[in-house]
Amino acid sequence: MRAATATIQVREFPALLGGNPATLKDWAANWQMSRLLMCVAVIFAGAGLYGAAMGYWRSPVQAGYNIVKFPLVVIATTLGTSLINGMLAPLLGLNLRFRQSLMLVLMSFTIAAAILGSFAPIVFFIVWNTTSLAGQTEIPWAIYNFVQLTQVIIVAFAGVAANVRLFRVLQAVNGSQGVARKVLFAWLAGNLFLGSQLCWILRPFIGSPGLPVQFFRDNAFQGNFYETVFRAIGHLLSS
């Protein structure tokens, strides 16, 4: 019986990626624990593999840390913003229940995680082809920046693809493009706001070549992402 359920969930996976609004709307409306678990499993597998590929450039230990940390950021962001997301949707004109909004955000992160996971072998290949840090007398900043840029492009692509699908579902729920856009931007703002800070706390992911490999930085809870960005802008303007 369990095996049969698992098969059904795996078969549903392409439907999720295809982003058929009617199907996803139905999934959000009809809450199923097995479907929820499938989403969580895909997030852990996809984001974990991608995180490992990303961290492998710094060291295999960093890759191991990222297998846990990267999915944690995604899950924690989904749960941390679920309450405000569930409240914002009806306020902005989209009649969604809390469970529905949570499921929709989770499905969008699942799509992003699946895309990231599929890119993991390519990122491993890119990292394998870059100069290793071991035995270097000088820190290869150009390669570090290249690895960072590659991650930004891939993560941005996965995020855009996932949100395009989420937008279509939101539109299917309400029928209004304007309301769907408002809700999507509100959810995105919340997710980005919390997600950035969670990434800051759980840093490093790639790992600066000049700093040691750690699960958490010693000053993980000191300062925040936005302070650092403002300070960097300040430095840039004053120099």
Partner 1 sequence: MNDPNTPPLIPQPALAAVTAGAPTPPPPETNLDEQVPIPNVVSAIESILRQPRRVLYQLRQPGSGRLIAAMAFVAVVCGLIYGLVVGTFSGGTQFWAAPLKIAAGLLLSALICLPSLYIFACLSGSPARLVEVVGLVAGLATLMTILLIGFAPVAWVFSQSTESIVAMGALHLAFFLVSTWFGLRFLNAGSSAHADRTGGIKVWMIIFILVMLQMTTALRPLIGKADTLLPTEKKFFVTHWLECAKQSDETSQSSSLTR
Site for partner 1, rule CB under 8 A: 13-14, 17-20, 111, 114-115, 117-122, 124-126, 128-132, 161
Residue number with CB closer to partner 1 (27 or 200): 27
Are 225 and 197 in contact by the 8 Å Cβ rule? The answer is yes
CA 174 to chain centre: 26
- The minimum distance between CB 102 and partner 1, in angstroms, equals 23
Residue number with CB closer to partner 1 (122 or 189): 122
Q: How far apart are the first and last CA of the chain?
A: 66
Residue number with CB closer to partner 1 (36 or 114): 114
Residue number with CB closer to partner 1 (63 or 114): 114
> What is the C-alpha to C-alpha distance for residues 115 and 161, in angstroms, rounded to an integer?
9
* The residue count for the chain: 239
Residue recorded with tokens 């058929």: 20
- The minimum distance between CB 234 and partner 1, in angstroms, equals 35
- The minimum distance between CB 53 and partner 1, in angstroms, equals 11
- The minimum distance between CB 159 and partner 1, in angstroms, equals 13
- The minimum distance between CB 77 and partner 1, in angstroms, equals 21
Residue number with CB closer to partner 1 (75 or 116): 116
Residue number with CB closer to partner 1 (106 or 162): 162
- The minimum distance between CB 183 and partner 1, in angstroms, equals 22
